Structure 1
Amino acid sequence: MTIGPGGIRRGAGQVFSPRMKLDQVETLGEIKLGFLLTKGQLEVEVFCACQLPPSSLGQPPDTYIKTYLKEGEKQIQKRKTRVIRSTTSPQYRQTLKYNMSDIQGRHLLVMVWERQKGFDHNQPIGAVEIELGRLDLSRSMTCWYPLYPLASRQIGSVVSP
């Protein structure tokens, strides 16, 4: 992990899009991801997250991860993990796969979501965007990524089931 201008921390290949809210240096926790290119597929290992904020009710949140390949601002090929209940340090241990031919020139958007109870919309906790071309995919790699909030104007355009 490196520290950039203004104290902004970032993991390997991490980039910031206009939808990220970077007016605060404080992060919303971290996520540990692994990358491996094998048999024509990119395997994204979602290991765990830590230091996630509690829910609006002050309880440990029920969370899951959604990933998208991004082409410009367009999000394509969504993948999701299962929900991990009641913890600010969830252990996901799931592998999400993308075809190698689909990742060329694209970014990977990884979002941590809090599942709401009842009929409320699920809420994004934080996100990381990774430029896949900046990663050395010739070998297995694992990295921690700080999570940053999404700009409030963007949250309405990213509704989760």
Structure 2
Amino acid sequence: MSKSVPAFLQDEVSGSVMSVYSGDFGNLEVKGNIQFAVDYVDSLKELHIFVAQCKDLAAADAKKQRSDPYVKTYLLPDKGKMGKKKTLVVKKTLNPVYNEILRYKIEKEILKTQKLNLSVWHRDTFKRNSFLGEVELDLETWDWDNKQNKQLKWYPLKRKTAPVALEAENRGEMKLALQYVPEPIPDKKLPTTGEVHIWVKECLDLPLLRGSHLNSFVKCTILPDTSRKSRQKTRAVGKTNNPVFNHTMVYDGFRPEDLMEACVELTVWDHHKLTNQFLGGLRIGFGTGKSYGTEVDWMDSTSEEVALWEKMVKSPNTWIEATLPLRMLLIAKISK
């Protein structure tokens, strides 16, 4: 069970870019074209990239005039491995045919903040890669309602994008505090459950993705619970990219051992009448990659996020404060 209150009532109450080009052992000219199509399937909440074929690629084996090419895709600026997909390798050809669909499970609002990078690579017998060219689409300006954009198109392959252009943009910071409050039971020394308190104080230097206007709010859930009833949010604060929320969210029913498996997901959004645009987020937990013995993508906390969670667990009944950088998240799907 969860409850959400403004901070002034709290006394009463007590989500890799460098690997895009990693391992490039070649220095080949970039030539040729790639044919693909992109579509967003609303019913599945998935981005589908249909990679059809390439033609007239550069020859990694100059003597035999052939390559062993494959296609790799990223959603940028996400640096994590879950942002990478790739086709099979088609050997001994400069005109490979793939006819494969690469899928990303991602909310459409988040997708509109991304760039799609498709790159073509030659893989040699020692599993080393040589860059053959790339195409990049800005999904923020992509017209998803245009049926022609869902059809196969040929795109000329280009040289590598400058590394600076691929670096993750600054998404601002969040100033917050966490506290674990055990609930002792009469006649027993050890508590069986407790509350996790999340005090969202303010955000700093949020990105102005849609001009000078910003109307931001924060959503929160504690994974692995993805039910809608567990999701809490602050009020929206407008006309500033340094919004002060001063809002505390409370989640109860946590045993000490549950804290080893849980992860607080905080996401910041720009509110609009038609849609909310994702600005950045945090995932605060132990970052083990697993929850209750199951591998999960969302247990991916950074070292700073892990440090905050560890301090909270080790210091019950104490507010632990931090200012953490917001980052890109592939948000866990919310169930009904």
TM-score by length of 1: 0.69
Cα distance in 2 for partners of 1:136, 1:100 equals 17
AA of the residue aligned to 2:69: T
Cα distance in 1 for partners of 2:57, 2:92 equals 11
CA RMSD of aligned residues (A): 2.3
Contact 1:126 1:149 (C-alpha < 8 Å) held by counterparts = yes
Q: Residue in 1 aligned with 2:132?
A: 125
Q: Residue in 1 aligned with 2:289?
A: none
Deviation at 1:55, TM superposition (A): 1.4
Q: Does 1:87 align with 2:97?
A: no
Contact 2:30 2:132 (C-alpha < 8 Å) held by counterparts = no
| Counterpart mapping for 1:18-57 below 5 A | 28-38=31-41, 39=43, 40-57=45-62
Cα distance in 2 for partners of 1:125, 1:27 equals 5
Q: Secondary structure at the match of 2:152?
A: strand
Cα distance in 2 for partners of 1:61, 1:27 equals 13
Structure whose CA Rg is larger: 2
Unaligned runs of 5+ in 1: 1-18, 20-25, 155-161
Cα distance in 2 for partners of 1:49, 1:105 equals 27
Distance 1:110 1:75, change over 3 A: farther
Higher fraction of helix: 2
Deviation at 1:46, TM superposition (A): 0.3
Contact 2:30 2:58 (C-alpha < 8 Å) held by counterparts = no
AA of the residue aligned to 1:87: T
Deviations 1:116-143 (A, max 9, x none): 1226x21111111111123222232322
Distance 1:104 1:135, change over 3 A: closer
TM-score by length of 2: 0.35
Contact 2:73 2:119 (C-alpha < 8 Å) held by counterparts = yes
Structure with more relative contact order (C-alpha pairs < 8 Å, separation 6 or more): 1
Number of residues of Structure 1 aligned to a counterpart in Structure 2: 126
| Counterpart mapping for 1:116-155 below 5 A | 116-118=124-126, 121-138=128-145, 139=147, 140-150=150-160
Unaligned runs of 5+ in 2: 1-20, 22-28, 164-336
AA of the residue aligned to 1:29: G
Cα distance in 1 for partners of 2:131, 2:58 equals 11
Deviation at 1:67, TM superposition (A): 0.2
Deviation at 1:148, TM superposition (A): 1.1
Contact 1:35 1:137 (C-alpha < 8 Å) held by counterparts = no
Deviation at 1:57, TM superposition (A): 3.3
Q: Secondary structure at the match of 2:140?
A: helix
Cα distance in 2 for partners of 1:104, 1:61 equals 34
